[in-house]
Amino acid sequence: MEDPKKEPIAISRNQDSKLCLNCGFPNRNTDSQCMYCRTSLTEDAGLINWLRQTYYVLRWRWQLKQKREGIEEPISKTPFYRTAGYFFLGLVLSGAGIFVFTSAVGQNSFTSGLIALLLMGYGVFTLKNLISKKE
Protein backbone atom coordinates (compact mmCIF):
# COMPACT_ATOMS: atom_id res chain seq x y z
CA MET A 1 0.00 0.00 0.00
CA GLU A 2 1.21 3.44 -0.83
CA ASP A 3 0.98 6.25 1.64
CA PRO A 4 -0.94 9.26 0.34
CA LYS A 5 1.29 12.19 -0.54
CA LYS A 6 0.93 15.20 1.69
CA GLU A 7 0.86 18.65 0.17
CA PRO A 8 2.51 21.60 1.90
CA ILE A 9 0.12 23.77 3.88
CA ALA A 10 0.59 26.80 1.62
CA ILE A 11 -0.50 24.77 -1.43
CA SER A 12 -3.28 22.72 0.18
CA ARG A 13 -6.83 24.09 0.08
CA ASN A 14 -7.63 22.42 3.45
CA GLN A 15 -5.89 24.94 5.67
CA ASP A 16 -6.58 25.51 9.34
CA SER A 17 -6.31 29.24 8.77
CA LYS A 18 -6.53 31.79 6.01
CA LEU A 19 -4.22 34.70 5.55
CA CYS A 20 -5.22 38.34 5.44
CA LEU A 21 -4.45 39.74 2.01
CA ASN A 22 -3.62 43.11 3.55
CA CYS A 23 -1.15 42.24 6.31
CA GLY A 24 -0.60 38.47 6.04
CA PHE A 25 -1.83 37.65 9.56
CA PRO A 26 -3.11 34.03 9.86
CA ASN A 27 -6.81 34.00 10.81
CA ARG A 28 -9.30 31.21 11.55
CA ASN A 29 -11.43 30.03 8.65
CA THR A 30 -14.56 31.22 10.46
CA ASP A 31 -13.36 34.83 10.78
CA SER A 32 -14.86 37.44 8.49
CA GLN A 33 -12.33 40.14 9.45
CA CYS A 34 -8.61 40.03 10.06
CA MET A 35 -7.86 39.88 13.79
CA TYR A 36 -4.80 42.09 13.29
CA CYS A 37 -5.81 44.86 10.87
CA ARG A 38 -9.61 44.40 10.69
CA THR A 39 -9.62 44.05 6.89
CA SER A 40 -12.40 42.02 5.33
CA LEU A 41 -11.33 38.46 4.48
CA THR A 42 -12.53 37.59 0.99
CA GLU A 43 -11.45 34.34 -0.55
CA ASP A 44 -9.99 34.46 -4.03
CA ALA A 45 -9.10 31.37 -6.00
CA GLY A 46 -6.28 30.79 -8.42
CA LEU A 47 -2.60 31.26 -8.89
CA ILE A 48 -2.53 34.94 -7.90
CA ASN A 49 -4.13 34.20 -4.52
CA TRP A 50 -1.68 31.36 -3.92
CA LEU A 51 1.30 33.61 -4.80
CA ARG A 52 -0.03 36.37 -2.56
CA GLN A 53 -0.55 33.98 0.35
CA THR A 54 2.93 32.50 -0.09
CA TYR A 55 4.41 36.00 -0.10
CA TYR A 56 2.57 36.93 3.10
CA VAL A 57 3.60 33.70 4.84
CA LEU A 58 7.25 34.39 4.06
CA ARG A 59 6.97 38.06 5.05
CA TRP A 60 5.20 37.21 8.33
CA ARG A 61 7.86 34.62 9.23
CA TRP A 62 10.63 37.09 8.43
CA GLN A 63 9.01 39.76 10.64
CA LEU A 64 8.64 37.30 13.52
CA LYS A 65 12.29 36.28 13.14
CA GLN A 66 13.36 39.93 13.25
CA LYS A 67 11.35 40.50 16.43
CA ARG A 68 12.80 37.39 18.08
CA GLU A 69 16.35 38.43 17.25
CA GLY A 70 15.68 41.86 18.74
CA ILE A 71 14.32 40.33 21.94
CA GLU A 72 17.02 37.69 22.38
CA GLU A 73 19.92 40.12 22.20
CA PRO A 74 19.34 42.97 24.60
CA ILE A 75 21.99 45.64 24.29
CA SER A 76 23.42 46.32 27.71
CA LYS A 77 26.69 48.01 28.37
CA THR A 78 28.59 47.32 31.58
CA PRO A 79 29.09 50.49 33.60
CA PHE A 80 32.60 51.87 33.86
CA TYR A 81 32.86 51.42 37.64
CA ARG A 82 32.04 47.72 37.32
CA THR A 83 34.59 47.23 34.54
CA ALA A 84 37.22 49.10 36.55
CA GLY A 85 36.38 47.02 39.63
CA TYR A 86 36.82 43.73 37.78
CA PHE A 87 40.08 44.96 36.28
CA PHE A 88 41.37 45.98 39.70
CA LEU A 89 40.25 42.63 41.19
CA GLY A 90 42.06 40.72 38.44
CA LEU A 91 45.26 42.69 39.00
CA VAL A 92 45.11 42.26 42.79
CA LEU A 93 44.49 38.51 42.56
CA SER A 94 47.28 38.04 40.01
CA GLY A 95 49.70 40.19 42.02
CA ALA A 96 48.88 38.38 45.27
CA GLY A 97 49.32 35.05 43.50
CA ILE A 98 52.74 36.05 42.17
CA PHE A 99 53.82 37.32 45.60
CA VAL A 100 52.65 34.17 47.40
CA PHE A 101 54.25 31.97 44.71
CA THR A 102 57.66 33.65 45.06
CA SER A 103 57.54 33.31 48.85
CA ALA A 104 56.39 29.67 48.55
CA VAL A 105 59.32 28.85 46.26
CA GLY A 106 61.70 30.49 48.75
CA GLN A 107 60.24 28.49 51.67
CA ASN A 108 59.75 25.22 49.70
CA SER A 109 56.05 25.20 50.69
CA PHE A 110 53.88 23.02 48.46
CA THR A 111 50.51 24.17 49.86
CA SER A 112 51.40 27.84 49.57
CA GLY A 113 52.43 27.19 45.98
CA LEU A 114 49.04 25.63 45.21
CA ILE A 115 47.24 28.56 46.81
CA ALA A 116 49.40 30.95 44.79
CA LEU A 117 48.56 29.14 41.56
CA LEU A 118 44.87 29.34 42.42
CA LEU A 119 45.11 33.07 43.06
CA MET A 120 46.99 33.66 39.82
CA GLY A 121 44.49 31.50 37.93
CA TYR A 122 41.51 33.46 39.27
CA GLY A 123 43.23 36.75 38.48
CA VAL A 124 44.10 35.76 34.92
CA PHE A 125 40.62 34.30 34.38
CA THR A 126 39.00 37.55 35.55
CA LEU A 127 41.19 39.66 33.28
CA LYS A 128 40.67 37.33 30.31
CA ASN A 129 36.88 37.45 30.68
CA LEU A 130 36.97 41.21 31.00
CA ILE A 131 39.07 41.64 27.86
CA SER A 132 37.32 39.01 25.73
CA LYS A 133 33.79 40.20 26.60
CA LYS A 134 31.99 41.13 23.38
CA GLU A 135 30.03 44.36 23.49
Q: Are residues 90 and 59 in the same domain?
A: no
What mean pLDDT do residues 65-91 have?
A: 78
Question: Quick one: 65 and 85 in the same domain?
Answer: no
Domain boundary among the residues 72, 92, 107 is at: 72
Query: Per-residue DSSP letters for 60-74?
Result: HHHHHHHHHHHHHS-
Whether residue 116 has pLDDT greater than 70? yes
Q: What's the predicted TM-score (pTM) here?
A: 0.42
Domain membership flag for residue 2: no
Domain that holds residue 56: 17-72
Using alpha carbons, list the distances in angstroms from residue 100 to 27, 97, 103.
70, 5, 5
Residue 67 falls inside a structural domain: yes
Q: Does residue 5 form part of some domain? A: no
| Domain match, 85 and 50 both | no
Q: What are phi and psi of 93, to 5 degrees?
A: -65, -40
| HSE-CB of 4 using CA atoms within 13 angstroms | 3
Q: Which band of pLDDT confidence, cut at 50, 70 and 90, is reported for residue 12?
A: very low
